[in-house]
Amino acid sequence: MTQEPQPRLEAHDITVRFGGLVALDSVSIDVPAGAIVGLLGPNGAGKSTLFAVLSGLLRPTAGTVRMDGEDFTSATPQARARRGLARTFQHPELFASLTVREHVVLGHRMRNGRRRIWTDLVNGRSFRRPSSTETDQVDDLIARFGLGAIQHQPVLGLPLGSSRLVEVARALATEPRVLLMDEPSSGLDSRETLDFCETLRTVVDEHGVSLLLVEHDVPLVLRMADRVHVLDFGVKIAEGTAAEVRENALVRAAYLGEEMPATVGEK
């Protein structure tokens, strides 16, 4: 029998209690290498809580988090980042005075030149001269996400959709092994969303990064994800392919009995 490869990121029997409230109840999820995994659920289902546990912002009441088989339950967000875990946020967290390109450069230097970051941030416009490798990799990400026309603009005042693309490009510049993405399509129009999906799939296929998406855009997740997990009231109620999840009676009930949306270009 062929042994299944070790998942990049695993959460086993995660329970989180806030006083008498059980936010997560023995939830398990895994993110394989080079896969896109979706996390769905109505508001209040526990998605954000699980993301906080996976990224190290919240210590679970019970359960374990592993990266590449190593127990990281007590590890800080910084330790997880050094191991190759990156994330984006529901509301983009950017430096208002820096340009689009400078954000991507900072992401690259977080991975490849940590000692240069503090000087760059203090000096602002006085970023040190980039290497040719850095320039090529930054150029590639800016082109992939269609940011070329605004790359030298400060992020302050950018539309939400553009700010979100900057945050994703910066995260990918750190060359993560696993990227947690919180509502990545928020602020994008339908055309931008389709382009965004294609870009992420290309990044996964070419670089082998693993993605875990939390999204309210159900059709987006069903279109992109290789596997989907569904939470409701802190409990995992379904797991499977997009087709399996869409036909699951518990999932339908969780979404108020409405028919799950069909995917566009379903795999």
Residue 193 confidence (pLDDT) above 90: no
Do 98 and 166 belong together in one domain?
A: yes
Give the structural domain span for 238. 18-84+176-267
Do 51 and 72 belong together in one domain?
A: yes
Residue 48 confidence (pLDDT) above 80: yes
Q: Which one is predicted more confidently, 53 or 119?
A: 53
Residue 67 confidence (pLDDT) above 90: yes
Structure tokens at 102: 């400078």
Residue 46 has a pLDDT of 95
Do 56 and 181 belong together in one domain?
A: yes
Sheet holding 36-40, edge to edge: 85-87, 178-182, 210-214, 36-40, 227-232, 235-240
* % of residues, the chain, pLDDT over 70: 87
Do 219 and 107 belong together in one domain?
A: no
230 within some domain:
yes
2 within some domain:
no
Q: Which one is predicted more confidently, 121 or 77?
A: 77
6 within some domain:
no
1 within some domain:
no
- CATH number, domain at 43? 3.40.50.300
Range of 7-21, 101-115, 120-134, 243-257 with top mean pLDDT: 7-21
Residue 126 confidence (pLDDT) above 80: no
pLDDT, the chain, mean:
87
131 within some domain:
yes
Do 141 and 222 belong together in one domain?
A: no
- 72, 95, 100: which is closest to 85 by C-alpha? 72
Residue 121 has a pLDDT of 52
Do 267 and 184 belong together in one domain?
A: yes
For the segment 252-258, the average pLDDT, to the nearest whole number, is 69
Q: CB within 8 A of 225, min separation 6: which ones? A: 36, 37, 38, 213, 242
For the segment 143-159, the average pLDDT, to the nearest whole number, is 93
Q: CB within 8 A of 253, min separation 6: which ones? A: none
Residue 27 confidence (pLDDT) above 60: yes
11 within some domain:
no
The one-letter amino acid code at 169 reads A
12 within some domain:
no
Q: How many domains does the chain have?
A: 2
Q: CB within 8 A of 122, min separation 6: which ones? A: none
For the segment 131-135, the average pLDDT, to the nearest whole number, is 80
Do 65 and 185 belong together in one domain?
A: yes
Residue 261 confidence (pLDDT) above 70: no
Do 186 and 258 belong together in one domain?
A: yes
89 within some domain:
no
Residue 116 confidence (pLDDT) above 70: no
**If pLDDT is split at 50, 70 and 90, which confidence band does 215 have?**
confident
In the numeric block, the tokens 């939470």 are attached to 231
Range of lowest pLDDT (24-33, 117-126, 159-168, 193-202): 117-126
Query: For the chain, how big is the Rg over CA atoms in Å?
Result: 19
Residue 266 has a pLDDT of 44
Residue 33 CB-half CA count within 13 A: 9
Residue 119 confidence (pLDDT) above 80: no
For the segment 212-234, the average pLDDT, to the nearest whole number, is 91
Last residue of a domain, one of 175, 209, 226: 175
